[in-house]
Amino acid sequence: MGKNTPKAIRGTQDIFGAEAEAFAFVVETFERVRKLYRFRRVEMPVFEKTEVFSRAIGETTDVVSKEMYSFEDRGGDSLTLRPEFTAGIARAYLTNGWQQHAPLKVATHGPLFRYERPQKGRYRQFHQIDAEIIGAAEPQADVELLAMADQIIRELGIVDVTLHLNTLGDAESRDAWRAALVEYFRAVKDELSEDSQERLEKNPLRILDSKDPRDRKFVADAPKIDAFLSEDAKAFFEAVTSGLDAAGVKWTRAESLVRGLDYYRHTAFEFIPDEGSEAASKLGSQSTILGGGRYDGLMESLGGAPTPAVGWAAGIERLAMLVGEKGEPKADVIVVVEDDTANAQNHAWYVLHVLRDEGYVAEMIATGSPRKRYDKAVKRGAGAIFKCGYETHGLQVEGSIEPALFELLERLS
RNA sequence: GCGAUCGUAGCUCAGUUGGUUAGAGCGCCGGUUUGUGGUACCGGAGGUCGGGGGUUCGAGACCCCUCGAUCGCCCCA
């Protein structure tokens, strides 16, 4: 590489070969399964007015101030590269009159951007698959959404991953729980980690998933949401869990699983690799592969009518790390041009034309030393190797190919 | 923003307590052998050892700065 060559932006990746195949496999599986559940495809802009995200996420955390890719366009508007799908979809729901389709099931995938320090499974431009059900207040929506997530993960062949499920209750339950937590942790403030002492003021729920042992010993005995759930919230959660059981979705209760943002209500969930599993070690410390919840409070923050909704997103890169090697498929036929005559070359073009029109995967080797071209084809591997020389054309079959292709190649010889 | 580890050919790496013209394998290119072919052999291209400064008679190795990568912390919509 010359020192004059521009380098890739930090946190971006050039995905190629086997990794790109795994990436594509994730997206293809998602697309296939999402149709089984009749989630409708949406394509969203990659950037929005900054306020779409800042109002949705809330100004509270430094997420907005520090971790968004924001810039001014020529008209002076502040725009932001989308850090998530949900806010943009909510905006579209409100500005396009999609209320008429409620309850609306939509799915999408693509790149997202967050200004973060890159590490394993974490990039500045990363990619997610995403599913949302908007305008549905019923727990059935949560169940269906989770059933789809579960099926996608299973069909990807990912094992040793468990659905961790919690409820945050309705607004009243949640506020009461939060107050109790603050009171509980404040009493032992001096014994908490420095980070958690700060969390106590900024985001007390987050103390619950602190990794610091100083915090963990208090987390076990912290007030539980269950004690604060209203009857409605309790019934909602029970409907979700019994629905999951009936739908064959395995789950585990995770009382410490929380969401930082205020608009989340009721169901919150993450699919996480089991401790000590191969999946867990492949992912490092960024272990959640799919996460989401019910965000009944979001639409109002964007100036819309109160609208219940639930959704999830999953990192394609992280899923791709778990799907195993997806080798690039071999060609059905490799056509070897055995000498540099126009005869040989043109016959090769003709053979390739016929093969590809018939739907066979075919490529040509026609460069480098003529003597080594055949070896090159053998190394690359193919169902059949077809040789084009000045006068003769020959067929070499490796392993077994289907009779129709064999006959076609014989005819072309 | 903080911390740890690491930057030597296109790729994976070796380079001994600092010591003559910087190495291997794979890949690439060419040739020989084989001659119906996945082998073997020979040769070639390709590196200001991430960049800058310093210590030294001498630095790929040691020190400082810088850039980048990886992993972790914070954060996690």
Per-residue flag: A116 CB under 7 A of strand B: yes
Give me the pLDDT at residue A147, please: 98
Q: Which residues of A316-325 are buried (b: 16+ CB within 10 A; e: fewer)?
A: bbbbbbbbee
Please tell me the least confidently modeled range out of A72-81, A208-217, A299-308: A208-217
Report whether pLDDT(A412) > 90: no
Sign of CA dihedral A301, A304, A310, A312: negative
How many Å apart are A158 CA and B56 C1'?
58
- C-beta separation of A32 from A41 below 8 A: no
pLDDT band of residue A6 (cuts 50, 70, 90) is confident
Report whether pLDDT(A398) > 70: no
Question: How does DSSP assign A196-220, residue by residue?
Answer: HHHHHHH-GGGGGG---HHHHHHHT
Which pair of tokens denotes residue A107? 């799915």
Report whether pLDDT(A61) > 70: no
Scan residues 46-85 of chain A and list those with Cβ within 7 Å of strand B.
53, 57, 61-64, 67-68, 83-84
What's the average model confidence in pLDDT over A239-249?
A: 98
Per-residue flag: A399 CB under 7 A of strand B: no
**Which is nearest to A401 in space by CA: A376, A372, A381?**
A381
Domains present along chain A, CATH in parentheses? 17-170+230-322 (3.30.930.10), 331-412 (3.40.50.800)
Give me the pLDDT at residue A3, please: 60
pLDDT band of residue A122 (cuts 50, 70, 90) is very high
What's the average model confidence in pLDDT over A354-359?
A: 95
What's the average model confidence in pLDDT over A365-383?
A: 85
Per-residue flag: A215 CB under 7 A of strand B: no
Decide: helix, strand or coil at residue A253: strand
What's the average model confidence in pLDDT over A203-230?
A: 92
CA distance to A41, A58, A365, A397, per residue, from A370 (Å): 49, 65, 9, 20
Report whether pLDDT(A182) > 70: yes
CA distance A174 to A162: 25
Q: Which residues of A333-345 are buried (b: 16+ CB within 10 A; e: fewer)?
A: bbbbbbeeeeebe
Please tell me the least confidently modeled range out of A140-149, A193-202, A222-231: A193-202
Query: What contacts A337, CB < 8 A, 6 or more positions away?
Result: A344, A345, A348, A364, A365, A366, A370, A373, A388
Give me the pLDDT at residue A180, please: 96
The predicted complex's ipTM stands at 0.88
How many Å apart are A395 CA and B45 C1'?
35
Q: How many CB atoms lie within 10 A of CB A180?
A: 17
CA distance to A113, A169, A238, A266, per residue, from A172 (Å): 34, 8, 18, 11
What's the average model confidence in pLDDT over A242-250?
A: 98
Give me the pLDDT at residue A342, please: 86
Q: How confident is the model over A294-349, as pLDDT tens digits?
A: 999 999 999 999 999 999 999 999 999 999 878 778 889 999 988 888 888 889 99
Walk across the sheet containing A362-365 and list its strands.
Answer: A362-365, A331-337, A382-388, A393-397
Q: Which nucleotides of B are covered by protein (CB under 7 A)?
A: 1-3, 10, 28-39, 48, 50-51, 68-77
User: How far does CA A64 lie from the centroid of its chain?
Assistant: 22
Please tell me the least confidently modeled range out of A36-50, A85-99, A356-370, A384-398: A384-398
Q: What are phi and psi of A127, to 5 degrees?
A: -135, 140
Give me the pLDDT at residue A1, please: 53
Per-residue flag: A177 CB under 7 A of strand B: no
Scan residues 364-393 of chain A and list those with Cβ within 7 Å of strand B.
367-369, 371-372, 374-376, 378-379, 387, 392
Scan residues 309-338 of chain A and list those with Cβ within 7 Å of strand B.
338
Measured CA to C1', the nucleotide nearest A261 is B77
